[in-house]
Each structure stands twice: as C-alpha cells, then as structure tokens.
Amino acid sequence: MKKLFKMVAALTALCFLGIFQTAQAKDLTGELEIFSWWAGDEGPALEALIDVYKKEHPGVEVINATVTGGSGVNAKAVLKTRMLGGNPPDSFQVHAGQELIGTWVMADRMEDLTPLFEEQGWMSVFPEGLIKLIGTDKGIWSVPVNIHRSNVMWYIPSKLKEFGIEAPKTWDDFLKVAPMLKEKGIVPLALAQNWTANHLWESVALASLGAKKWDALWSGELAFDSPEGVAVWELFGKVLEYTNDDASSLSWQQATDMVVDGRAAFNVMGDWAAGYLSTTKGLAPGTGFGWEASPGTGGEFMFLADSFGLPKGVKNLDNAKAWLVTLGSKEGSDAFNPLKGSISARTDSDLSKYNDYAKSAAADFAKDTIVGSLAHGVTANEGFMNDFASVMEMFLKSKNAQMTAKAAQQIAVKNGIAK
Ligand code: GAL
C-alpha cells in the first residue's frame, strides 16, 4: 500500500511537472538574445531554427545578434568583451571542444546543463563521444546543434569537364594538374582570408600525417618539429603556390564564388560550403556542385560541432533554457541542418529531410575514422589558436617549413599541448 501511495504521488508529481512545463513554455515573454557569427549568407539555417522557437514561444522577442566573419574571427572578440564586461548574451555559439572548455568553462562563466540533458533525454540521443567533448567531470556545458566536416574539396562538375580534369584524390594528383590550370589562367585552389589558411592547413596535415599521427600532435606524443611535422609545412608550401594572390582580402564565400564562376577549379572548405552552394546559390548537390574528401583524406572525417551554451548571470534565463531545448530537439535540428550543410548531432535525425550531400556526409560519419578540427575549436585551446594564427602569418611570409615547425612546437609547449 505504501508502495502504491508512493507511486501515485510520484506520478502526480510528474504530471504536475509536465503541466507546469507546458504552461511555462506557453507563457514565456520578454526577450531572448542569441549571439553567433551566422550573419548574411550564413543566416538562413539559424533563421529556420528561430522560427521553430517562435512557433513554440510566440510571446518572446528574439534578438538575433550576429557579428559577421567566418569561423567567428570577429564574433569571439566581441563575445569576450561582453563576457568580461558582465553583459553576456542569453546564449552564444561556441565550438564543441577546447574552444568551450579551455575558455569560458575554465573561467567558471557557464551554467552546467546536465539537468537539462537528463530532463530532455539527450544523454542517449547525442553520441557519447560528443557529450564527452562538451563536458568535464564537473558538468555538460553546451548543446550541440550540428556536425560539420572540415576536410572537403569542392568543385563544379561542368567546369571540371571544361578544364579536362577530375577531382584529385591525393595532393600529388593535385600538384600534377595544377600547373596546367595555372597556365590557362585558372586558379587551381581558391583561398580566402587567413583563418581559411588554417583550415586548408589542417586538411593538408591530415593527408600528410594520417589520423593517428594527427591525434598524436594533440596528445603531445608527436612533436610539431619532428620530421613528420616539418613535412606538413613543406607540402602546405607547395599547395599554397597554386592559390590566389588576393586570398587575404576575400571571405570564404568569395573564395567559393571563384569556384562557382570557374575562376578557380577547387576550394577546400568545411561543409557550410554545401549550405552556401545549395541554400544561397541554388545549386543541386552532385550535378550543380561536386565534392570529395580533401586530397589524401578519403576515409577520414575531420569533424567539428557548433553548439550553444548558457552563460552565468543572463538576463532571460527561462527564455534561454527554452532556446537550448529547441536547438537540441529533433524538430529544431532537422529544421536547421538541411539548410546549413551540416548533419544533425542527434542520432535519430530524419535523413529524408536532407539533400544528397548531407546524406553522403552522414554515411561517411558513420563509417570513417573521426578526428577533430584544429581550425574550429576541437583540438586546441584558445591560447594555442591565437598563437597559431601568428605562426601561420610567419609561414605565409617566410615559407620556411623548418622555422615554422619549430615555432609551432614552441607554442604547443607554451599552451600545454606538447611536453
Ligand atoms: C565554422 C562554423 C560553421 C561556419 C563556418 C564559417 O567555424 O563552425 O558553422 O559558420 O565557421 O563561418
């Protein structure tokens, strides 16, 4: 009897909780400020997610605060000022991995989202490895909204036909066709501002080192100035000879445009380019645009995940929690990702809503060797990332592989990566 009473009491409590939550959800009012770098061309997927939120919470006014600039180059600096100035947005975009853990979690500026993960049943819906990446022994610190792939090479099939070439499977293949393209006045590989050099570098490094040694760089087992480390910069230098001279003044979208217009043959970029090519440019995957794993990285999936966290001391706590619930939900995820070029971070997403590119990415993600991206926050902390930008500058100016590899090792030691 006692047992039965307890059960009834528990069930009643659960019902109340349910009613309370729905009533609360319907009643939400006031504002919600979300902060990201998904501005302009990068905006449609976020807008779709906001629409899902607005449908559920019509009383909330959403302030979509964006700071333009690929990979968050400008947004991260603005966020820092706001966080340190005690004016955090209600929720902000941050890469899963060291970018989140090594900064705002370490500084004790984030709320632990473990209760939300448990309440929403997310512990069994997001891959275990991903939850580890957004968590520490003290909690879970953000909600992942997608999985992007970094190591992809993009092209336009009809243009390749015109040029009489195929997508290269290795950098050797690329270096064979590149001089001929250059002679014809076609840029073999379109490049943009400096963060895209980091982006290209990680694909070249993965090709040169392979997955095991790439991981070994980040666990401190392989030195950046080892012969293998130097070889990465040597290969990177050769590849750079076939990129455009005006790279530093272009956005990643402008580099992609060069490929679309036929001014360049290829571009290595994350699969937000698939979102841009299909959502913004209206090209069909497979026929309008084509892709391959970046040269030498077939069977390897270099991943990154965008996520949103909840800073301590936000102005609109309930609205922010509801936002996290929407972006972690199946409906939210499957509204956002098909437009973004990414796949859902959830294991139960509805693939029928996704285009052929995303379907192929999902298939690769399920079978490939998975490694983390440096350029997008997975493998290294902010200190290393900032220093790496200077090391990259140094290489772009000097093209000296030995010297740059040494400098990379120094910053790895300084930032606690290498011993
Ligand atoms: C990445 C981010 C992507 C995309 C890209 C270009 O860092 O994870 O979602 O926005 O930058 O800006």
The best mutation among 46, 93, 306, 344 to test binding of ligand 1, ranked by most ligand atoms within 8 Å of the C-beta, falls on 306
What integer is the mean pLDDT of 90-98?
A: 97
In whole angstroms, give the CA distance from residue 147 to residue 129. Answer: 12
CB atoms < 10 A from the CB of 129, how many? 10
Residue 122, pLDDT > 90, answer: yes
pLDDT at residue 7, rounded to an integer: 46
Q: What is the distance in A from the centroid of ligand 1 to the CA of 370? A: 18
Tell me whether domains 22-148+305-369 and 149-303+371-414 share a fold: yes
Instruction: With beta carbons less than 8 A apart as the criterion, state whether 418 and 412 touch.
Output: yes
pLDDT at residue 25, rounded to an integer: 58
pLDDT at residue 9, rounded to an integer: 44
Shortest-distance Cα residue to atom 1 of ligand 1: 71
**Digit-coded pLDDT (tens) for 40-78:** 999 999 999 999 999 999 999 999 999 999 999 999 999
Third-level CATH fold of 22-148+305-369: D-Maltodextrin-Binding Protein; domain 2 (3.40.190)
Helix axes 382-398, 401-414, angle to 10 degrees: 170
Cβ(306) – ligand 1 distance below 6 Å:
yes
The best mutation among 35, 41, 42, 133 to test binding of ligand 1, ranked by most ligand atoms within 8 Å of the C-beta, falls on 42
What integer is the mean pLDDT of 378-396?
A: 96
Cβ(290) – ligand 1 distance below 6 Å:
no
Residue 26, pLDDT > 70, answer: no
35-56 burial, b at 16+ Cβ within 10 Å, e below that, comes to bbbbbebbbbbbebbbebbeeb
One-character DSSP codes across 125-145: TS-HHHHHHTEETTEE--EE-
SS3 295: coil
**Digit-coded pLDDT (tens) for 193-243:** 999 999 999 999 999 999 999 999 999 999 999 999 999 999 999 999 999
In whole angstroms, give the CA distance from residue 298 to residue 292. Answer: 8
Shortest-distance Cα residue to atom 10 of ligand 1: 71
C-alpha distances in angstroms, 92 versus 75, 298, 314? 10, 33, 11
pLDDT at residue 419, rounded to an integer: 84
Q: What strand order describes the sheet that includes 369-372?
A: 148-149, 300-304, 369-372
pLDDT at residue 227, rounded to an integer: 98
Third-level CATH fold of 149-303+371-414: D-Maltodextrin-Binding Protein; domain 2 (3.40.190)
Instruction: Record the tokens describing residue 40, joined without a space.
Output: 């302009």
Residue 20, pLDDT > 70, answer: no
Percent of the chain at pLDDT exceeding 90: 93
**Digit-coded pLDDT (tens) for 294-325:** 999 999 999 999 999 999 999 999 999 999 99
Instruction: With beta carbons less than 8 A apart as the criterion, state whether 149 and 174 touch.
Output: no
Percent of the chain at pLDDT exceeding 70: 94
**Digit-coded pLDDT (tens) for 142-192:** 999 999 999 999 999 999 999 999 999 999 999 999 999 999 999 999 999
In whole angstroms, give the CA distance from residue 143 to residue 251. Answer: 28
The best mutation among 148, 303, 344 to test binding of ligand 1, ranked by most ligand atoms within 8 Å of the C-beta, falls on 148
Handedness of CA 410, 96, 301, 163 (dihedral sign): negative
Cβ(71) – ligand 1 distance below 6 Å:
yes
What residue spans define the domains of the chain? 22-148+305-369, 149-303+371-414
Residue 408, amino acid: A
One-character DSSP codes across 202-254: HHHHHHHHHHHHHHHHHHTSS-TTSHHHHHHHHHHHHHHTTB-TTGGG--HHH
pLDDT at residue 4, rounded to an integer: 43
Q: What is the distance in A from the centroid of ligand 1 to the CA of 150? A: 10
Shortest-distance Cα residue to atom 7 of ligand 1: 71
